[in-house]
Amino acid sequence: MEVGTPPDSLRPVDAVVIGAGHNGLVCACYLARAGLSVLVLEQSPAPGGGSRTEETVPGYRFDLHSAAHNIINMTSIPDELRLGEAGLEYREMDPFAVALLADGRRVRFHRSVERTVESIAAVDPAEADRYRAFIAAAMPTIDSAVAAMQGGGSAREVAGRAARAVPSVVAMLRQGPRELVGELLGSYGRLLDVRLGSDLTRGPVSAFAAHAGMAPDADGGAFFGLWQAAYHRHGQWHARGGSQSLADALVRRLEASGGRVRCAAPVARIDARPGRVRGVVLEDGERIDAEMVVTAIHPKPALLELLDPPLGGLLGRRLAATRVSNAVQMVVHVAAGRLPPYVNAEPGDWNGLQSYVDSLDDLRASFRAAEDRRLRLPVAAYGFTPSAIDGGLAPAGKQTVYLACPTAPFRLEGGWERGAEQVVESMLEQVEARAPGFRSSVEGIAVQAPDAMAARLRWPGANPMHLDLTLDQRGPLRPVPGLSDHRTPVEGLYITGAGTAPAGGIAGLPGRAAARALLRDAGRRSRRRQG
């Protein structure tokens, strides 16, 4: 990997990729594999973006943001890029979640629906039946959605892949078109209120749904409640060594195909005069010529600030009007001498997500507070203990505890200097209430507050999804109609990343889709020249 490579060592390249997050690296790998010369430029000192893993507490390695890699393991990308041969190893989290209610009740969510139902039935047999019916009703929708996502972006690709999942579509329609459409257009709060019977399941299911960054009462969010079925179908996965292992494997695969990554190289301008990409200019003034450029960063600054001239017209105004909420995820890294000693724990309780969300209404109130730029205490929270299944993340006999609040306000009245202390205290209190004596084992804490995360990773609004996943900013409409096929009006300029189709998260699908679009266009140009 090149860090601070001097200008005279750079060779002309076919394609420059701006941003070495996992989508940018996935895109670069496919381009290099097709024979193009590729250079990836990253503003940070290391690749990975939101999938970085660092020693934020001396001796303890934590993921900066992403703690689970689920969607990418629903795709063929790891196999197509032979990432296993490049050192990437995934370990399944099973159970993928455990609900740790403050009153001492415990429910374990296994990949097996039946084992999950048995766990719920031990507390509430009627709720177990409701959960089984909920997952059975959700599964066809999820199977169709996963099939549709594989294409990446354009409406044609999405429709084609969804059509190939005909049995699942038929099963969906058996529920009744009006009922199905009504549920999908509604909120996940309403969906869970109707489909489930109590907070025994509503709380932990909503904790997962909140990962999408949408409030429980936001219209169009029902899909993220139904997404619970995806964990039963496909599992939840941890990258051995932390999320950085994905980025490192992609870099190895890229370099094996002749591509290069250059870090500490922030881009200041994309030269596109007149109407065609000519290259990029770095913040230090260095120019790199390229026939094609792919932006793998937030699409708004990419096309409205870096692009010279900026994207204009109706398409530019649509992009400028895209939305992002004020509720984002805040992460706290806790180095501990032992795993949280949860009351009534069983082996495996530390494998996956540990939910401290007691009720759906608590989550509702937390999102409302965030939109009002306030903290609601206690904060909505959940945890992961990755060292329980990956001992290399901590010193021998020690543990890493990753705590997160999905409803932290990016803009906070009074600022984050005091707010961060309140969040940390609230999180530790919640763990202590469920695991008495845990606080005495804490050996270090590192806080990833929203304002600091936004500045460090250059995420406007500190949102890892870049844009809200509302119905009009999702799938073939993401980020806006006219850009969802990853092409732009500027010849040779393409977009990828979490803010592009089909969605954010650790998926790699936007990266692959952008590479496919670029390669198709390059092939057409080559055939025209030859003809």
pLDDT recorded at residue 171:
54
What pLDDT digit, counting tens, does each position of 419-433 carry?
999 999 999 999 999
Beta bridge partners of 408: 328
Amino acid symbol at 315: L
Q: What pLDDT, on the 0 to 100 scale, is given for residue 176?
A: 53
pLDDT of residue 151: 67
User: What is d(CA 338, CA 388) in angstroms, rounded to the nearest whole number?
Assistant: 10
Could you read off the pLDDT of 85-138 as tens digits, one per residue?
A: 999 999 999 999 999 999 999 999 999 999 999 999 999 999 999 999 999 999
Average pLDDT over every residue of 137-142: 94
User: How confident is residue 178, by pLDDT bands cut at 50, 70 and 90?
Assistant: low
Digit-coded pLDDT (tens) for 267-317: 999 999 888 999 999 999 999 999 999 999 999 999 999 999 999 999 999
What residue has token string 């906070």?
Answer: 412
Task: Using the predicted structure, report yes or no on whether residue 27 has a pLDDT greater than 50.
Answer: yes
Q: How confident is the model at residue 179 (pLDDT cuts 50, 70, 90)?
A: low
Tokens 């990833």, located at residue: 448
CB count, 10 Å around CB of 431? 24
Q: Mapping DSSP to helix (H, G, I), strand (E, B) and coil, where does residue 525 land?
A: helix
Hey, what are 381's tokens? 């929270």
Question: Given pLDDT bands bounded at 50, 70 and 90, which one contains residue 2?
Answer: low
pLDDT band at 157 (very low <50, low <70, confident <90, very high): low
pLDDT at 182: 75
In terms of pTM, does the model score above 0.85? Answer: yes
Of the candidates 92, 91, 96, 88, the one whose C-alpha atom is nearest the C-alpha of residue 113 is 96
- Give the tens place of pLDDT for each residue, 230-277: 999 999 999 999 999 999 999 999 999 999 999 999 999 999 988 899
Alpha helices in 125-176 (DSSP H): 125-149, 155-163, 166-173
**Range scoring the smallest mean pLDDT among 10-14, 24-28, 167-171, 435-439:** 167-171
How high is the pLDDT of residue 3? 47
* Mean pLDDT of the residues in the chain: 92
Q: How many helices (H) and strands (E) does the chain have?
A: 18, 20
Nearest to 199 by CA among 247, 130, 273, 115: 130
* pLDDT tens for each residue of 327-372: 999 999 999 999 999 999 999 999 999 999 999 999 999 999 999 9
